[in-house]
Structure 1
Amino acid sequence: MNEVLLHRIATTFDHYDVNGNGVIELADLYALANRLLRAFGEPASSERGRELIETSDRFWETLVEHCDADRDGRITLDEYRAAMLATFVDVDEFDDMFLEVSESLLALADTNGDGRVEAAEFQVLLQARGLSEAECRTAFEHVDTDGDGSISLQEYVDAVYDYYTNPTEDTPGSWLYPRSMQAA
């Protein structure tokens, strides 16, 4: 297995393990959703807020189904790594849940409701992941592959898939998390 991809999997595990206790739990996904809602100034009770929370619930169910090998309600790095390798690398399958999460994130990021996620909106999303302002600009430039000044759902989904499957640097997906976290 490529070391870059293994490190990227560990990076996303660390992102989901919000409380840093070494396992992903439902509370971590709620904390991540709340971080995003605060970043966008969106109440959890709004339609977009409820959708993000509901998507977090479904994402958790999917993670448990695919990752929680010992069925203890906690996902370790080893369990997460094995599931991500099986899903993306070994069988090249992009789970529908990742599409639903991507849709929910971009709906939240589209703060002006124009159906486009522009640079400033994308920046808020990525800063919630820990990217600097400069990293956000660079990520936007890479993910906006058609150069139209906005991120489409397809561009974002392609970048997420790319992050998990393509170890090449400077691809759209390689910019979705802080570079400092990705350095092997």
Structure 2
Amino acid sequence: MNPFYVDKMHKMVTLLDENGDGALTIDDFYEAADRVAVSFGHLPGSPGYTAIRDVYTRMWDEVYAGLDTDDDQVLSFDEVIAAHRDTILSPADGYEKFRPVAQAFLTLADSDGDGIVSRKEFIQAMNQAFRLPEEDAGRAFDSLDSDGAGCLTHEQIHQAAKGFFCTDTKSYGAGLFGPIAPIRM
């Protein structure tokens, strides 16, 4: 697998991994969902809170659970890479497995429902959900705001997420989670 893609996935796992063990569980995804939902005023039990947890459950079941090779409900980094390679990166329709998660985030972050995510909303979502430092979230936003409008459409964010998760090149969206540092494996 392309080393840049491995570096991107390492960044994602590092941001999601609550206990720092280098592996992911469904609870890591729920923690991210809970933080972003609450930060935008969607409390436990509310439709927004429930919706984002539900899409993470579906993604876990469709993308990750089948590649939990030792069936311990914990995905090692290698299992995450295999899951992405087999279900998101390689198939032509791979992004469709991830789209509902991105859309749930957009629904929460686009607090006025105008189809536009402001710089502030983007930074808040990335900081709360993924604990991405505000400076890195700002850089990520700037890399995506190619027309300098100061906001992102839902389609721009979907294209960025597709570029991050479904390509192994430095295409649009590669910096969705901020700067990518090479890892040594």
Find runs of 4+ consecutive structure 1 residues off by over 6 angstroms. none
Assess, with a 3 A threshold, how the Cα gap between structure 1 residues 89 and 33 changes in structure 2: closer, same or farther: closer
Q: Counterpart in 2 of 1:100?
A: 100
Assess, with a 3 A threshold, how the Cα gap between structure 1 residues 134 and 24 changes in structure 2: closer, same or farther: closer
Q: Counterpart in 2 of 1:130?
A: 131
Count the aligned residue pairs: 180
Unmatched runs of 5 consecutive residues or more in structure 2: none
Q: Counterpart in 2 of 1:8?
A: 8
Q: Counterpart in 2 of 1:154?
A: 155
Equivalent residue runs for 1:69-80 within 5 Å: 69-80=69-80
Residue identity in the other structure for 2:26: L
Correspondent of 1:183 among 162, 167, 181: 181
Q: Counterpart in 2 of 1:83?
A: 83
Cα offsets for 1:48-100 (capped at 9, x unmatched): 11211211221221233443233332211111111212334444442423100
Correspondent of 2:169 among 167, 170, 175: 167
For 1:131 and 1:27, the matched residues in 2 are separated by 18
Q: Counterpart in 1 of 2:41?
A: 41
Residue identity in the other structure for 1:155: Q
Residue 144 of structure 1: CA displacement?
3.1
After TM superposition, the score normalised by the length of structure 2 is 0.83
Q: Counterpart in 2 of 1:58?
A: 58
1:172 aligned counterpart, secondary structure:
coil
Q: Counterpart in 2 of 1:25?
A: 25
RMSD of equivalent CA atoms = 2.3
For 1:95 and 1:162, the matched residues in 2 are separated by 9
Unmatched runs of 5 consecutive residues or more in structure 1: none
Identical pairs, percent: 27
Assess, with a 3 A threshold, how the Cα gap between structure 1 residues 63 and 18 changes in structure 2: closer, same or farther: farther
Residue 115 of structure 1: CA displacement?
2.7
- Kindly indicate whether the alpha-carbon contact (under 8 Å) linking 2:137 and 2:177 is maintained by their aligned counterparts in 1: no
Residue identity in the other structure for 2:12: T
For 1:14 and 1:6, the matched residues in 2 are separated by 12
- Kindly indicate whether the alpha-carbon contact (under 8 Å) linking 1:68 and 1:79 is maintained by their aligned counterparts in 2: yes
Tell which deviates more after alignment, 38-47 or 97-106.
Answer: 38-47
Cα offsets for 1:116-174 (capped at 9, x unmatched): 21111111012222333333333223223455443222211211121231432xx4312
Assess, with a 3 A threshold, how the Cα gap between structure 1 residues 85 and 147 changes in structure 2: closer, same or farther: same
- Kindly indicate whether the alpha-carbon contact (under 8 Å) linking 2:110 and 2:116 is maintained by their aligned counterparts in 1: yes
